[in-house]
Every structure is written in C-alpha cells, then in structure tokens.
C-alpha cells in the first residue's frame, strides 16, 4: 500500500475503504477546517488527530464545522444522499430497520428518541426543513463524521508505527 503522506492520500484511503463518496469525505475534511489539497505534513497530522479523537469520543464532543445547527443542517442537506445510503447500508449490515437503528443511536440514550415519523421525515422528506427535526439533522451529520473517522482510525490501529509517528 502507498504510504499516506498528504490529506489527499487520506481522502483516497477512506474512499477506497468505505462506502462514502469522495465528495462527502472531502466535505467532512473541509468542514473540519482543512483543505484536501493541502500537502503539508503538519496539516495531515492535525486532521488525523481530530479524526482519531472523533472516532474515540464521538462527534457530539464538538468538532469544528459540526457544532452549530447552521453547520450540521447545511452539511446534512449537501450530503443527504450519501448519508442516507450509508445509514441504509449499516442498517442492512446490522439486520435492523433503519428507523429503529436511528432511534437507538446513543445520542438519544438520555432523551426521548424521535418517533418513526420524525426519522422518516428527516431522512426522506426533501421539502421544507422542519425546526423540530434539527436534532436529527445534527445526528445524521455526526453519523457521517464518526463513520469516516472510524475508517481512518482503523487504519491507524492497523499501522501502529505510523500512528505513533503522527502523534509524536
């Protein structure tokens, strides 16, 4: 495998090892404040650290570009098709209904989970945004960030010397 020395290499790795589109991976990186064309090693190191932290602690911990409703809603709308595709793939992999899977997400463990109708509207109603669905739009954006982060973190775990080099 070609070594990963730039953010674009990281994008290519995630694209080739997940079901996310290149555009969505690049949008995650842009939202985090990085440019996929940036070839500086320190940028790759910082981005890698952010993705590793997200993978270990979850997106609700607060990551640039994924904190404010205006950011997460815009991100979800821009990447909706790919997010839905990946939610469907995960539900199928788990042998679970997509609605029940979303209702069981950890972010709802201390709150009343959304109704099946709310999840369905948030996912498939491409009409006017509904304020009462903002939490779901956030969750779907965080799902995308976390899944992409998990793909990268698995690479780091499989390559401990490289991981040590990036965290040094």
The pLDDT of residue 59 is 93
Residue 25 lies in a domain: yes
Closest CA to 140 of 95, 93, 90, 97: 90
The tally of domains found in the chain comes to: 1
The whole-number average pLDDT for the span 69-79 is 96
Residue 2 lies in a domain: no
The pLDDT of residue 61 is 85
pLDDT greater at residue 138 or residue 128:
138
The whole-number average pLDDT for the span 59-84 is 95
Residue 87 lies in a domain: yes
Residue 8 class from Cβ within 10 Å (0-12 exposed, 13-18 middle, 19+ buried)?
middle
To 10 degrees, what angle do helices 22-31 and 7-16 make? 140
Residue 35 lies in a domain: yes
Domain region containing 139: 7-167
The pLDDT of residue 1 is 53
- Stated pTM of the model: 0.94
| 5-57 confidence digits (pLDDT tens) | 999 999 999 999 999 999 999 999 999 999 999 999 999 999 999 999 999 99
């Amino acid at each position: 495998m070609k070594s990963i020395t730039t953010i674009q290499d990281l994008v290519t790795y995630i694209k080739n090892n997940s079901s996310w589109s290149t555009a969505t991976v690049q949008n995650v990186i842009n939202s985090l404040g990085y440019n996929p064309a940036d070839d500086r090693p320190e940028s790759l190191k910082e981005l890698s650290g952010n993705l590793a932290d997200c993978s270990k602690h979850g997106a609700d911990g607060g990551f640039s570009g994924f904190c404010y409703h205006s950011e997460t809603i815009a991100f979800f709308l821009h990447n909706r098709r790919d997010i839905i595709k990946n939610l469907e793939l995960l539900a199928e992999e788990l042998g679970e209904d997509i609605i029940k899977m979303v209702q069981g997400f950890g972010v709802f463990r201390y709150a009343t989970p959304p109704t099946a109708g709310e999840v369905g509207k948030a996912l498939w109603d491409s009409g006017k945004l509904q304020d009462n669905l903002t939490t779901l739009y956030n969750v779907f954006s965080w799902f995308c960030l976390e899944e992409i982060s998990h793909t990268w973190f698995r690479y780091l775990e499989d390559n401990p010397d490289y991981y040590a080099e990036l965290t040094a």
